[in-house]
Structure 1
Amino acid sequence: MAKLAFRLNNVPVEEADLVRSLLVDQEIDFYETTAGRWGISVAAIWVKTDEEFTRARELIEQFQVGHSRAMRDQYTEDVNAGRVPTLWQLLRASPVIFITYWLLIGAVVVISVLPIYGYFN
């Protein structure tokens, strides 16, 4: 019976492609399911046999350790090089959008708190 080896929901396309190529290189027989038209199903990579599942999970876990470390290092490098925008840079780039978001956040907080405030008064 097939076993779920790797969920693809909210996984970047590049990472999913790397996992697929890893499984193909190791000659592990797998198939994919999509999230469906409305995105409510499980998008995943499934492995057909128990032996291949164990091997696939080990490979994927090793890959994820290295990949997450590389992504964290890349992010740190981008922050140090100034390629990640700061809050101030975002405000200067699009002040109308920035202020609109903060007004919406404030409105949600007020709408959420007013019933509680009215209950206790």
Structure 2
Amino acid sequence: MPTLLLNLRNVPEDEADEVRSLLEGHDIDYYETKPSLWGVSGGGLWLPDDRQAAVAKAHLASYQAQRGERMRRERAEAIAQGRAPSAWSAFREDPLRALATVLGILLMLGLATLPFLFFTRG
């Protein structure tokens, strides 16, 4: 019975490539399903053989722990060097989008509080 090893929804392409290389490097058979046209499925990496699932999951857990540590270290370096993305950098890159986002948030807050402002004075 096939086993889903990795759901590819919101997985960066470089991480998916590294996982594919990891599986191929350990001679683990897998196949890939692509995301659906309507976005219902994000695609995935599947193992056709249950007997390889435990080994593949162990290798994947080790890889993800190493990747997580590497990403945290890179993030800390980016923050220390002032290269990390921030709200201010997002505003500078696309001020119209940032302003529209703030206005949208304010609109939603206003709509959410209107019933309490007008209908609780009974």
Task: State how 1:64-83 maps to structure 2 within 5 Å.
Answer: 64-83=64-83
Q: Which runs of 5+ in 1 are unaligned?
A: none
Which position in structure 2 is the counterpart of 1:13?
A: 13
The TM-score, its normalising length taken from structure 1, stands at 0.88
Report deviation, 1:43. 1.2
Letter in 2 for 1:76: A
Query: In structure 2, what is the Cα distance between the partners aligned to 1:28 and 1:92?
Result: 46
The TM-score, its normalising length taken from structure 2, stands at 0.88
**Percent identity of paired positions between Structure 1 and Structure 2:** 32
Which position in structure 2 is the counterpart of 1:61?
A: 61
Letter in 2 for 1:104: G
Query: In structure 2, what is the Cα distance between the partners aligned to 1:67 and 1:85?
Result: 20
Which position in structure 2 is the counterpart of 1:111?
A: 111
User: Does the alignment pair 1:48 with 2:48?
Assistant: yes
Change (3 A) 1:74 1:105: same
Letter in 2 for 1:67: R
SS in 1 for 2:45: strand
Query: In structure 1, what is the Cα distance between the partners aligned to 2:46 and 2:34?
Result: 11
SS in 2 for 1:10: coil
Change (3 A) 1:113 1:18: same
SS in 2 for 1:46: strand
Letter in 1 for 2:72: R
SS in 1 for 2:46: strand
Name the Cα RMSD after superposition.
1.8
Query: In structure 2, what is the Cα distance between the partners aligned to 1:90 and 1:31?
Result: 38
Letter in 1 for 2:70: A
Query: In structure 1, what is the Cα distance between the partners aligned to 2:93 and 2:45?
Result: 40
Report deviation, 1:10. 0.4
